[in-house]
Amino acid sequence: KYYFMARDKAESLPDARRFFQAGVKTLMAANQYAQALEMAKLKVGDLVNDPQTLRFLSHTALAAGDPATAAVYARKLVFQ
């Protein structure tokens, strides 16, 4: 929760990316895969077209056992 709050207040793209990824990784580490993917969708914001973020989300979705969502992020990455 706090990582996503910090992500919303971040002043630079790298900071926003770092907080966003930390929040998703924290949920994944707690075995809350569905919540991690849901929060990723809700909080991605202006990172939605960021190649590093799309790559991260694709890998995260695969690790969470959701290949369909991983494919969506991979398509966005490829067809930018």
Instruction: Please tell me the pTM assigned to this model.
Output: 0.90
Structure-derived torsion over alpha carbons of residues 28, 22, 74, 80, reported in degrees to the nearest 10 = 160
Beta strands in 10-80 (DSSP E): none
- pLDDT tens digit sequence for 9-66: 999 999 999 999 999 999 999 999 999 999 999 999 999 999 999 999 999 999 999 9
Q: Judge contact between 40 and 50, C-beta under 8 A.
A: no
